[in-house]
Structure 1
Amino acid sequence: MSNSSLTESNCGQTHDDVKNYYGKQLSNTKDLKTSACAAPAKPSPKHIRDALSQVHEDIKSRYYGCGLTVPQCLENCRILDLGSGSGRDCYILSKLVGPKGDVTGVDMTDEQLEISRKYIDYHTQKFGFHQPNVHFIKGYIENLKEANVQDETFDVVVSNCVINLCPDKKAVLREVYRVLKNGGEMYFSDMYINKTLSEELKKNKMVWGEGIGGALLWKDLFQFAEEIGFSPPRLVTSRYITFNKELEDVVGDYKLVSATYRLFKLPKDAKKEKCLAIYKGGVTGYENELAFDANFSFKEGQALEVDEELCGILGDSRFAEYFSFFPLANGSVSNKDIISDPFQFADGNNETISCKSSKTKACP
């Protein structure tokens, strides 16, 4: 068997194992063996909480993500959700983009797609829309072209604890880059491991199904992003993940975090230089302050010195209309340290949410 055929065979087996785990072995969130499904301790903005409260309970009970993948400034956007599962995040986003926006969920698991599609009409009526603005398609996120996802069609791509389940993560990021418009964003939560996992543990189906077997080293994400053409990933937040006793006995001393990053596909001629950026307000839910990432939070009307990449991002994305930009005064030098390491942030954040008894109590 050729190396190519062997790789395809391994990928196919991994897909089958993951589909079996999430389609047959897990019936709801309580069956997970890590705290990855736990929500952040810091409450989400009211408009997101309100949207979540309107999502059907049957959808929410089958949530297997590791964060809340809802960036700011979504009105009228076209959004693609990779590995949409039961559709929880898609329905939240459906509400937030409004009737003129559009949300597409893609998943490879028939059981998950059946659940997500079942409640399209329910949420259309619940949100007061005249017609659905969300739909779900079957496909593999390493090959979105096969699922007929066209080039440069989306403003935002989100993913919630799914890329760690994919055997070819670089292929996923390449596909995201292809389908994003110039200025578009990938905003995603995923699991990262502190050191390379042993080959023995990588073959453990439970370890793979829980997302640990395929968890990236965070520096690999930065390397992939650079090779593909994304701007350097911007860390938004992270926290440590804990395991229940069954999984802890298997995994041992490996450490994992759930981290959210944002990546942007900037045009080749994007203007990148240190500058002063002033947030003008106006983004729904963030009228007074917009926390962009772990390093920069913009208060309305206040000038903040930003690095070259962030200047390019804010000036060539959907955020451009909400900011004013000014050159730096002569001799102005910023000594701000940029945090990119999710373990460093989690250590300082001291936020760890535990779900030790996964069979008896759902993660919060």
Structure 2
Amino acid sequence: MSSCCPAKTKSITDDVKDYYGKKLRTGDDLETAACTTPPQKMFKSVANAMALIHDEVVSKYYGCGIVVPECLEDMNILDLGSGSGRDCYALSKLVGKDGFVIGIDMTDEQLEVANRHVDYHMKAFGFDKPNIKFVKGFIEKLKDAGIADNSVDIIVSNCVINLCKDKHEVLSEAYRVLKEGGELYFSDVYADRVLSDEIRNHKVLWGECVSGALHWKQLFDLAKDIGFETPRTFEYRDLKITKPDLKEVLGDAKFVSVMYRLFKLPKDADRNASQVIYKGTITDNQDELKFDRKLTFKNGASVTIDGDTAAILKQSRFKEDFMFQKAPGCAKYSEVKEENPFDLLKSGGVTNEGGTCCC
């Protein structure tokens, strides 16, 4: 993964290109855990897709999460900073022959690896023609790479947005190319403070997704300013930098890796609280569907949800997987609020906050 920052921030761009194109040969060359994914459980279809990916593609993978959301059949997906293509190829298998995946990256060496194995994966997946392509470009300049307005169902990104200096432009471009009802599902690193210039200018820490981390509150401010719904925390984990020389540079700054989902909805979306019943129709999620860290829908169970969550379900790719009816006036439900991931780490709790009806 790597893709950020054109000429106006040329030094950062060149540093990142060199880091991911020349210095890093495999994941063993990383100096921190920021760009690594800890062992985690995968759904069967995801694990099966990952098992088919070429060894060279996997060896060149750098990322802090598995960015594979649910309900992917026939979707058009864009991967920001696709690197060697690991996530793209898994998604290519999961969207099926009638879906399509585009990976965008700025690093020639990574793109060479990704493009080298297109035919290999199409044969492994049993597809008679490619449903994937890789393009060279910058993730905050998607128009230059030919990504049209309102053309993408889902955008994924795996620990890449922090590598780019202009996060506002990245998120604005993501918003532009998403269809209404579309989702940005991404993993990234965040800090508990605004980082000092000394940290920001450290090449290794920037290349390893640490120095470029936003203060967590800035993400919520950017999302609101651009027009996204409130970011939904899906997963999070503590991120500790243990190498002594890097730890000394960082001082008391703390970091966390978070998987967020952001949705783009029409301005006139219906935002009435609703009672919903999940039908159990999504692959690998027949028994239950985890929507965010707080809310999990059980198959056949009636749940009362706030108007913003109802609007997302009604406008997005999930709309056919739920039954909707108006929530009774006495129904209780939790409102969507900003969440400090560092407070979540301290509390350590995951709760289901779907509401109930008193009637």
How would you bin the TM-score normalised by the shorter chain?
A: over 0.9
1:78-227 equivalence runs, <5 A: 78-227=76-225
CA contact (8 A) 1:339 1:345 kept: no
Evaluate the alpha carbon distance shift between residue 275 and residue 266 of structure 1 in structure 2; reply closer, same or farther with a 3 A threshold: same
Distance 1:190 1:65 in 2: 9
* Equivalent position SS for 1:181: strand
Measured against aligned partners, the alpha-carbon deviations of 1:21-45 in whole angstroms (never above 9, x if no partner) come to 1111111111112222443554011
- In the alignment, structure 1 segments of 5+ residues that lack a partner are 1-6, 352-364
How far has the Cα of 1:9 moved from its partner? 5.6
Measured against aligned partners, the alpha-carbon deviations of 1:232-252 in whole angstroms (never above 9, x if no partner) come to 111101001122414223323
Give the letter aligned to residue 302 of structure 2.
A
CA contact (8 A) 1:81 1:90 kept: yes
1:3 aligned residue:
none
Distance 1:33 1:304 in 2: 45
Distance 1:103 1:8 in 2: 23
Query: Relative contact order, CA 8 A, sep 6+: which one is greater?
Result: 1
Distance 2:336 2:118 in 1: 45
How far has the Cα of 1:8 moved from its partner? 7.1
Bigger shift: residues 162-171 or 193-202: 193-202
Bigger shift: residues 72-81 or 24-33: 24-33
How far has the Cα of 1:123 moved from its partner? 0.4
Evaluate the alpha carbon distance shift between residue 74 and residue 139 of structure 1 in structure 2; reply closer, same or farther with a 3 A threshold: same
* Equivalent position SS for 1:177: helix
Give the letter aligned to residue 256 of structure 1.
F
How far has the Cα of 1:326 moved from its partner? 1.9
* Equivalent position SS for 1:325: strand
User: 2:234 aligned with 1:228, yes or no?
Assistant: no
CA contact (8 A) 1:106 1:137 kept: yes
Distance 2:56 2:137 in 1: 23
CA contact (8 A) 2:304 2:331 kept: no
| TM-align CA RMSD | 1.8
Evaluate the alpha carbon distance shift between residue 225 and residue 339 of structure 1 in structure 2; reply closer, same or farther with a 3 A threshold: closer
1:319 aligned residue:
318
Evaluate the alpha carbon distance shift between residue 336 and residue 8 of structure 1 in structure 2; reply closer, same or farther with a 3 A threshold: closer
Evaluate the alpha carbon distance shift between residue 315 and residue 198 of structure 1 in structure 2; reply closer, same or farther with a 3 A threshold: same
Measured against aligned partners, the alpha-carbon deviations of 1:167-210 in whole angstroms (never above 9, x if no partner) come to 10000011011111111110000000111111111111111111
Measured against aligned partners, the alpha-carbon deviations of 1:85-107 in whole angstroms (never above 9, x if no partner) come to 01000000000000000000000
1:362 aligned residue:
none
2:68 aligned residue:
70
2:238 aligned residue:
240
How far has the Cα of 1:338 moved from its partner? 5.4
CA contact (8 A) 1:276 1:327 kept: yes
Percent identity of equivalent pairs: 48
Distance 2:137 2:335 in 1: 42
Evaluate the alpha carbon distance shift between residue 259 and residue 14 of structure 1 in structure 2; reply closer, same or farther with a 3 A threshold: same
2:41 aligned residue:
43
CA contact (8 A) 2:186 2:260 kept: yes
Distance 1:218 1:305 in 2: 29
2:307 aligned residue:
308
Distance 1:306 1:39 in 2: 32
CA contact (8 A) 1:202 1:208 kept: yes
Give the letter aligned to residue 200 of structure 2.
K
User: 2:251 aligned with 1:252, yes or no?
Assistant: yes
Bigger shift: residues 296-305 or 238-247: 238-247
CA contact (8 A) 2:287 2:299 kept: yes
Give the letter aligned to residue 305 of structure 1.
T
Evaluate the alpha carbon distance shift between residue 337 and residue 178 of structure 1 in structure 2; reply closer, same or farther with a 3 A threshold: closer
Give the letter aligned to residue 124 of structure 1.
M
* Equivalent position SS for 2:181: strand
Bigger shift: residues 162-171 or 305-314: 305-314
Distance 1:134 1:348 in 2: 41
Distance 1:41 1:129 in 2: 30
User: 2:356 aligned with 1:333, yes or no?
Assistant: no
Runs of 4+ in 1 over 6 A off after TM superposition: none
2:354 aligned residue:
none
Give the letter aligned to residue 161 of structure 2.
I
Bigger shift: residues 215-224 or 103-112: 215-224
How far has the Cα of 1:336 moved from its partner? 6.9
CA contact (8 A) 1:34 1:241 kept: no
Bigger shift: residues 65-74 or 41-50: 41-50
When normalised by structure 2's length, the TM-score is: 0.92
Give the letter aligned to residue 146 of structure 2.
N
Give the letter aligned to residue 154 of structure 1.
V
How far has the Cα of 1:260 moved from its partner? 0.6
When normalised by structure 1's length, the TM-score is: 0.91
Bigger shift: residues 270-279 or 96-105: 270-279
2:260 aligned residue:
261
Bigger shift: residues 218-227 or 324-333: 324-333
CA contact (8 A) 1:239 1:350 kept: no
2:270 aligned residue:
271
